[in-house]
Amino acid sequence: MGSALAVAAASHEANDVTLIGSPLDSEIVDSINRERWHPTLKVNITDRITCLAQQDLSASLMDGANIIVIGVSSPGVSWATAKINKFEARPDCIALVTKGLVATDADSPPLTYADALSDSIDSKLLLGIGGPCIARELALGMPTFVMFAARDTELATRVRGCFQTDAYRISVHPDFIGLEACAALKNFFCIGVSAMLGAWQIENQTAKNPVAALFNQAVVEMDLLSNWIRAATETPEERQRRAGRSHVAFDLPGMGDLHVTVGGGRNSRLGTLLGQGNRLSEIVAGPMQGITVEGLDTGRQLLPGLKAALDCGSLSRESIPLTLAILDSVQNDSPFVFDFQSYAVSA
């Protein structure tokens, strides 16, 4: 996704774009510098993008950087922030493409990266990006809508001009933490919705009603959980700016991104396999060996705070049946089963 955003940025003549590989990306860097070919995105890369290995990141490059996009996977985030912090220069904006939640020690909701990284990155600089966006499609110029958000909405509005293209259309949302929470949660919920792709068949074709019913349920629960997560760290200023309950889950970072996530990618593949009756232990030892599934970690980070919230009654079990079904399946190493009967019980 970092590379795809570099492509969008490079389409603006005014932008000078440098793409820097992590220690795991040396093949990609070599391939781009040799033949302008991105081997994982499978697209040609314009020569307007300078491509460097991480050891070539220099003080002068950092001095000139207005915007830094961090596009590493979850385990690489602390590496990336440490790398940036070794230099004195600070950019105007750091966009964090990596999405996830971090459980707290206390019995409170998990933190989004935006809050969890506040020790290593000035959170006023952080930009959140949410919405339906498969990286390869962005790099190929397929159109989509996304949302930017930041602690300071002005920052998001200023920065979008550097990335927006005719196809990559950006609006700005006031709920930064809600957007970050949805961007992480959609991977988690994708597992449960995609389980329906494996669970219900008619003559070897996937039944569509169960998928749509749990897609809907996922968005409704994402709304609940993202509001719960945001409320834990929101400042009074931010609360005022939202002017009421945020419904970012019912927009591009929630509903829109979940739509594209179900039916493609690792989270969806895991969910489908769980829905077909496989156990997590069988899947990670077999067809998905060595593959990181981000929604799994999001679920694990959700668990301690969620248990506490259920115990004290600030969330009810009845309001999050899909959340609990996904957690049950991955915690108890059992096939994914959703109890439709527990929903909409007659009075």
Q: Which residues bind a second copy (CB under 8 A)?
A: 131-134, 136-138, 140, 142-145, 157, 160-161, 164, 166-167, 169-171, 200, 202, 207-213, 215-217, 219-220, 247, 250-252, 255-257, 259-260, 263-264, 340-341, 343-344, 346-347
- Which residue number, 79 or 200, has a Cβ lying nearer to a second copy? 200
* Cβ 307 to a second copy shortest distance, Å: 26
* Cβ 165 to a second copy shortest distance, Å: 9
Q: How far apart are CA 181 and CA 306, in angstroms?
A: 14
- Count of Cβ atoms closer than 10 Å to residue 224 Cβ: 15
* Cβ 10 to a second copy shortest distance, Å: 18
- Which residue number, 23 or 264, has a Cβ lying nearer to a second copy? 264
H-type alpha helices, 97-208: 113-116, 135-139, 153-163, 176-199
- Which residue number, 198 or 210, has a Cβ lying nearer to a second copy? 210
- Which residue number, 64 or 264, has a Cβ lying nearer to a second copy? 264
* Cβ 217 to a second copy shortest distance, Å: 7
* Cβ 61 to a second copy shortest distance, Å: 27
Strands of 144-150's sheet, edge to edge?
A: 67-70, 93-96, 126-130, 144-150, 168-172
Q: Tell me what percent of the chain is helix, strand and coil, each rounded to the nearest 5.
A: 55, 15, 35
Q: How far apart are CA 194 and CA 212, in angstroms?
A: 10
- Count of Cβ atoms closer than 10 Å to residue 326 Cβ: 29
- Which residue number, 102 or 220, has a Cβ lying nearer to a second copy? 220
Q: How far apart are CA 120 and CA 162, in angstroms?
A: 25
